[in-house]
Structure 1
Amino acid sequence: MERRKVTFKLYPNATEAERLTGWIRLHCELYNAALEERIDAYRKHGKSISYYDQQNVLPEIKADRPEFVELGSHALQQTLRKLDLAFQAFFRRVKSVQTPGFPRFKANKRFAGFCYPDPAGWKLLQNGGRGATLRIGSGKSAMSIRARGQHRFGDGAKPNDLTITRKNGEWYASVTLRVSEDACARARSGDATRGIDFGLNDWATFDNGETIANPRFVCREMPRMADLQRQQARKQRGSIRSRRLGSQAAKLHERIGNLRRDFLHKQTSRMVRECAVLATEELRTRHMSRSASGTKEKPGRMVKQKAGLNREILSAGLSMAHQMLAYKAAEAGTRLHVANTRQLKPSQRCAACWAIVAKTLAQRTHVCSHCGHTAQRDQNAASVVLIDAHTPGTGVAARPKPLSRQRAKSKSVTRETPATESQDS
C-alpha cells in the first residue's frame, strides 16, 4: 500500500470556526504546558521527562479540565508527540554540532493546527464531484463541516490520518490516504526519451531544443509585495491597519505558492506521461541558494546580487520539481535517471566528444574547442545527462573513451502502467 496526501479546503460556519479556534487554543496550551514541565524538571531536579511520562498524565488532565475531553485522546497524544519530535531534533543537531534551536513556546495565533494520527474520531464523506463533508467527533457534539476537494484514487483509498490547519484565516484538512499500487498508477501516452536541464532563463530545456518558459511568479508580484510592505511600514505596529496589510501580504505569498505548485504539477505530469525515460542532473538548491553575506571578518561580495539570484532559484521550485518527478515517474512506469553533477559536470562537458570545455555562467552557447560542436548551453547539458542515462555508471570514470552521439533505446526495468485516464496532478 502506498500513501498519498490530499488537501481539502474547509468552509465552517461561524459557530464551527469558533469551536475549531477553541480547540487549537487548547492544543497550544497543552503543548506549552508540556514544554514548561520538561524545562522545569531538568532545571530544578536534573530529570528528563519522556513522551510516555506526559502521555500517562492525560487522563488526570481531562478529569480536571473537562474541555479537553472532546478533543480526543489520540489528538492530544499527537500534540505531545509533536513536542517530543522537536526535542529529538534539538538533540540531534547538538550532537552533529549544528545550530541547536531549542524548542520554543508557541503563541496561539502561530499554532498551526492539530492532528488525528489514525481514523478514529473523524470521517471524510465524498459527496460526488469536488464536494465533501468532514465529520469530527461523535454523538451530539460532532461537527459536519463542508469541504471542497477531490482525489483520483477512487473509493478503495483508506484514510490514515487527518491534520486540521488554520492559515491566513482559512481552514484546511490534509488527509493521508492508504492507496493500492494499481490505484496510484498513471497513464503513459508516449515512449519518448528526454534529457532535461533545469534553469532560470528557461525553467526547463530538453535535449531536442524544446524549452519551458520560467513563469517567475515572485518577480511578477514583487511590485505589489513591495507596495504592501511600504504601506505596512508606515502604520503603527500592532494596529488594525498594520495587521490588515500583513494579512494581505500573507495571502499574496500564498497565491504565489499555489501558482507555483499548480505549474509544477502540470509540467511534471506532462513529462512522465509523454516519456519512457527522463534524465536530469542532481540539484542541491540548499547549497545553490546559500547567502553570500559572509562573516564580519570576511564579508562577502555582491551580496545584493546573490540575494536576487537566490530568490529566483527558490521561486523556480527546482527541488519540488525533482520530488514530483520521482514519485510520478514511479507511478507511470517511467525510468528517471538523476546524474551525479559533481562527477559528470553537464554544463562543462561536450555532448559530442565528451571533453571538458570550461565556461563561465555568462556564456550561454557551448562551443567545443576539441571537436567544434556548437549548441545552446542548456541543450548541450540536457544531451549530456541523456547520454549518461544510457551508459552504465555515473561520472567520468565509467567512460574513459568518448561516446557516440547515437542513442540506443533504453530498456526500462520498471513496470508498465495499464492505460487509465491521465490526471494533471
Structure 2
Amino acid sequence: MQRRKVTLKLYPNAAQAARLEAWTRLHCELYNAALEERIDAWRRAGKSISYYDQQNVLPQIKADRPEFVKLGSHALQQTLRRLDLAFQSFFRRVKAGQTPGFPRFKSAKRFSGFAYPDPAGWKLMQHGGRGATLRIGSGDTALSIRARGQHRFGGDAKPNDITLTRRNGQWFVSVTLRVPEEACGQRTDDQRRGVDFGVNDWATFDDGQTIANPRWLREELPRLAALQRQRARKKKGSLRFKRLGRRIARLHDRIGNLRRDFVHKETTKMVGQCAVLATEQLAPKNMSRSARGTVDAPGRRVRQKAGLNREILSAAFGMAHPMLAYKAEEAGTRLHLSNTRQLKPSQRCAACWEIAPKTLADRVHVCPHCGHVMQRDQNSALVVLIDANTPGTGVAARPKPLPRQRDKSKSVTRETPTTTAQAV
C-alpha cells in the first residue's frame, strides 16, 4: 500500500469561509497557548512539558471553552503535534550546531490552517469528473464545502488524512491517499535514457531530443514589475497597498502552479517510458549562490549572476529530482544519479572519457583528445547514461575516482560542483 497526496481547491460560501477562519483562529490560539505554557514552565521551574502532558489537558480546555468542542479532538491533537514537531526540529538544529530557530508565536493571519490526522471528523465525496464535496464536522455544525480536483488512482484509493490550508484568501485541502500497488503508475516502455537538465533547454536527452524551457517567471516579469512599482507608490499599510500585495501574491501563485504542473507532466512521461533513467545529482542551492562577495573581496558580474540564479531557480531542478525519485519507484524505473563532482559530466568526453575543460559560454563539446564534437548538453546526457550502463562505473560501485582520470587538467568551468550523491 502506497501513500500519495492530492490537493483540491475549496469553494466555500461566505458563511463557510467565516467558519473556517474562526476555526483557524481557535487552532492558532491553542498553538500559542501551548507554546507559552512550555516557555513559562521552563523559565519558572526548569521543567520540560511534552506533547502528552498538553494532550491530556484538552478535555479540561473543551469543558472551559465550549467553542473548541466543534473542532474535534483529533484536529486539536494534531495542532499540538505541530508544536511538538517544531520543538523537535529546534533541538535537532541545536545538536547539529545549526541556527536553532526557536518556535515562535503565530498571528491568526499567518497561521496556515489545521489538519485531521485520521479518517475521523470529515468525509470526502467524489462526484465524478473533477467535482467533489468535503464534509467537516457532524450534526448541525457540519460544513459541506464544494471542492474541485481529481486524482489518478481510481476508486480503490482511500483517503487517510487531510490538511486544510489558507493561501492568499483561498482555501485548499491536501488529502493523503492510501493507494494499492496496482493502482500506481506503470511503465509503458523499456528505454534507457540519459538526461541533462539545463536553462537553455529544460532537458536534453542523449539522442539529442530536447524539452524547451517555458521560462514561467521571465514571461511574467514585466507584469510583476508593473504591479510592484504601483505598490511602491502607495502608502504602506493602506487599503490599496494591501490590495496590490494580494495581486502580486496571486501572480506568484500562478507562476508556481504553472511550474509545478509542467514538472509533474514531464517527469511522469520520463519514468513511464524508461527502464533506466540516468541524470546527474544537482544542488540548486549551491548553483544559485550570490556572487556579491564580501566588503574585503567583492564579487564580479553580480547582476549577471543574479539573473542566472533567477533562471536556475525558475527551472525547478530541486523540484524535478524528488518527483523523479518517487515516480521511478512507483513505475519500476531505475533512476541513476551520477556523482557530479566525481564524474564531471559537462567536462567529460562521451567518446574517449577524457576531461575536456570548457566554460559555460561553450555550448558545443569539442574534445581535444579524440576530436569528438557534440552539443554540450547532449554529451553530458550521454556521459551519465554510460555511467549508469557500464558495470563498475556507478556511484555505488565506485567510491574512488575513475581510473581514466589520470591527467588532472585544470578545469576552467565556472559551474559550482555539487555535493556527493548516492544512486537510487
Q: TM-score, normalised by structure 1?
A: 0.91
Listed one character per residue, the Cα deviations across residues 69-93 of structure 1 (whole Å, up to 9, x for unaligned) are 0101111111111111111111111
Aligned equivalents of 2:124 and 2:262: distance in 1? 28
Aligned equivalents of 1:109 and 1:58: distance in 2? 24
**2:191 is the counterpart of 1:192:** yes
Give the 5 Å matches for 1:282-297. Answer: 282-297=281-296
User: Structure 1's 50 and 291: CA in aligned 2 closer, same or farther, altered over 3 A?
Assistant: farther
RMSD after superposition: 1.7
Give the 5 Å matches for 1:254-293. Answer: 254-293=253-292
Listed one character per residue, the Cα deviations across residues 284-327 of structure 1 (whole Å, up to 9, x for unaligned) are 11221223334445444333332222211111011211111112
Matched position secondary structure for 1:108 = coil
Query: Following TM superposition, by how much is the alpha carbon of 1:52 offset from its aligned partner in structure 2, in angstroms?
Result: 1.3
Q: TM-score, normalised by structure 2?
A: 0.91
- Which residue of the partner structure matches residue 243 of structure 2? 244
- Do the aligned residues in 2 keep the contact of 1:90 with 1:103 (CA within 8 Å)? yes
Amino acid at match of 2:282: L
- Which residue of the partner structure matches residue 351 of structure 2? 352
Listed one character per residue, the Cα deviations across residues 82-127 of structure 1 (whole Å, up to 9, x for unaligned) are 1111111111111111111111111111111000000010011111
Query: Following TM superposition, by how much is the alpha carbon of 1:238 offset from its aligned partner in structure 2, in angstroms?
Result: 1.2
- Which residue of the partner structure matches residue 421 of structure 1? none
- Which residue of the partner structure matches residue 319 of structure 1? 318
- Which residue of the partner structure matches residue 423 of structure 1? none
Number of aligned residues? 402
- Which residue of the partner structure matches residue 381 of structure 1? 380
Give the 5 Å matches for 1:109-120. Answer: 109-120=109-120
Query: Following TM superposition, by how much is the alpha carbon of 1:399 offset from its aligned partner in structure 2, in angstroms?
Result: 5.3
**2:11 is the counterpart of 1:11:** yes
Query: Following TM superposition, by how much is the alpha carbon of 1:141 offset from its aligned partner in structure 2, in angstroms?
Result: 1.6
Residues 293-302 or 320-329, more deviating: 293-302
- Which residue of the partner structure matches residue 390 of structure 1? 389
Aligned equivalents of 2:53 and 2:363: distance in 1? 61
Matched position secondary structure for 2:160 = strand
- Do the aligned residues in 2 keep the contact of 1:118 with 1:161 (CA within 8 Å)? yes
**2:403 is the counterpart of 1:400:** yes
Residues 252-261 or 224-233, more deviating: 224-233
Give the 5 Å matches for 1:9-408. Answer: 9-188=9-188, 190-392=189-391, 393-394=393-394, 397=400, 400=403
Aligned equivalents of 1:116 and 1:46: distance in 2? 33
- Do the aligned residues in 2 keep the contact of 1:365 with 1:377 (CA within 8 Å)? yes
Aligned equivalents of 1:187 and 1:339: distance in 2? 22
Runs of 5+ unmatched residues, structure 2: 406-423
Aligned equivalents of 1:398 and 1:242: distance in 2? 57
User: Structure 1's 295 and 52: CA in aligned 2 closer, same or farther, altered over 3 A?
Assistant: farther
Query: Following TM superposition, by how much is the alpha carbon of 1:348 offset from its aligned partner in structure 2, in angstroms?
Result: 0.7
Residues 231-240 or 282-291, more deviating: 282-291
Matched position secondary structure for 2:195 = strand
Amino acid at match of 2:12: P
Aligned equivalents of 1:81 and 1:140: distance in 2? 28
Matched position secondary structure for 2:208 = coil
Q: Give the fraction of aligned pairs with identical amino acids, expressed as a percent.
A: 73
User: Structure 1's 214 and 12: CA in aligned 2 closer, same or farther, altered over 3 A?
Assistant: same
- Do the aligned residues in 1 keep the contact of 2:187 with 2:333 (CA within 8 Å)? no
Amino acid at match of 1:105: F
Query: Following TM superposition, by how much is the alpha carbon of 1:249 offset from its aligned partner in structure 2, in angstroms?
Result: 0.2
Amino acid at match of 1:58: L
Matched position secondary structure for 2:172 = strand
Listed one character per residue, the Cα deviations across residues 202-237 of structure 1 (whole Å, up to 9, x for unaligned) are 111111111111111111111111111111111111
- Do the aligned residues in 2 keep the contact of 1:343 with 1:394 (CA within 8 Å)? no
- Do the aligned residues in 1 keep the contact of 2:187 with 2:273 (CA within 8 Å)? no
Runs of 5+ unmatched residues, structure 1: 403-413, 415-425
